[in-house]
């Protein structure tokens, strides 16, 4: 427990240190049994800073910390340390809270409350932040524990995009959400063949 707590404190805007902390976290998930205690510890201490880092504009493709963050989210789902539904909702909440300028880490009712964020948020997310979050969401989507859950997520993404395209104009917040969902769908397509799923979801 103390080890994970210390690791969580190191996940910050210092990407070199964050990378090392994330890699150790991944190793723990891979080698330690996914006990109730392990799940509680990671949900309480590691998840929140990882979500905060997922919207950091400092992350870019090719950086070790970026790859380590994606691997951590993948292992959280594969090991069922955090349920797919809970993690997906937490990522959407992260987007919504950051867009509104409200840091969910300070909310007593949020999943992210158990650990203070070490990464600051801004009123509106940058394009880079949205791109980073979309990659994290895509990794989680393709590792959904069931085909139905995966197809449900993809169908929801496509349905939203179709609905948004039918509108004459979008508010700035909706434009950001449209961009996030579009990028997420594209990233999922890079990881798997979703033609059939997209067709079913669009019906």
pLDDT digits (tens, 9 = 90+) for 117-154: 333 333 467 899 999 999 999 999 999 999 999 999 99
Question: Model-level pTM?
Answer: 0.81
Q: Which tokens hold the place of 169?
A: 């104009």
Q: Where are the alpha helices (DSSP H) in 10-168?
A: 15-31, 36-41, 47-54, 64-78, 84-99, 127-142, 147-165
Q: What average pLDDT does the chain have? A: 81
- Three-state SS at 66: helix
Interatomic CA distance for residues 1 and 6, integer angstroms? 9
Q: For 5-55, how does the pLDDT look when each residue is reduced to its tens digit (9 = 90+)?
A: 676 666 777 889 899 999 988 998 888 766 777 778 888 888 989 999 999
- Burial label for 37, CB within 10 Å (0-12, 13-18, 19+), is exposed
Q: For 74-125, how does the pLDDT look when each residue is reduced to its tens digit (9 = 90+)?
A: 999 998 999 999 999 999 999 988 877 644 443 333 333 333 333 333 346 7
């Amino acid at each position: 427990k103390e080890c994970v707590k210390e690791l969580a404190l190191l996940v910050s805007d210092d990407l070199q240190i964050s990378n090392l902390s994330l890699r150790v976290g991944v190793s723990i998930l891979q080698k330690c049994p996914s006990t109730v205690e392990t799940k509680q510890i990671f949900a309480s201490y590691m998840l929140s800073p990882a979500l905060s880092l997922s919207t950091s504009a400092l992350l870019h493709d090719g950086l070790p910390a970026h790859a380590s963050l994606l691997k951590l989210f993948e292992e959280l789902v594969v090991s069922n340390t955090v349920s797919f539904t809970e993690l997906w909702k937490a990522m959407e909440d992260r987007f919504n809270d950051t867009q509104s300028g409200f840091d969910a880490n300070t909310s007593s009712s949020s999943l992210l409350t158990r650990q203070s964020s070490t990464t600051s948020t801004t009123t509106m997310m940058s394009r880079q932040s949205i791109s980073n979050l979309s990659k994290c969401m895509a990794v989680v989507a393709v590792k959904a524990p069931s085909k139905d859950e995966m197809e449900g997520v993809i169908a929801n993404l496509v349905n939203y995009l179709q609905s948004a395209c039918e509108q004459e104009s979008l508010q700035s917040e909706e434009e950001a959400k449209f961009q996030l969902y579009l990028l997420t769908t594209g990233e999922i397509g890079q990881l798997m063949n979703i033609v059939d799923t997209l067709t079913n979801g669009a019906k």
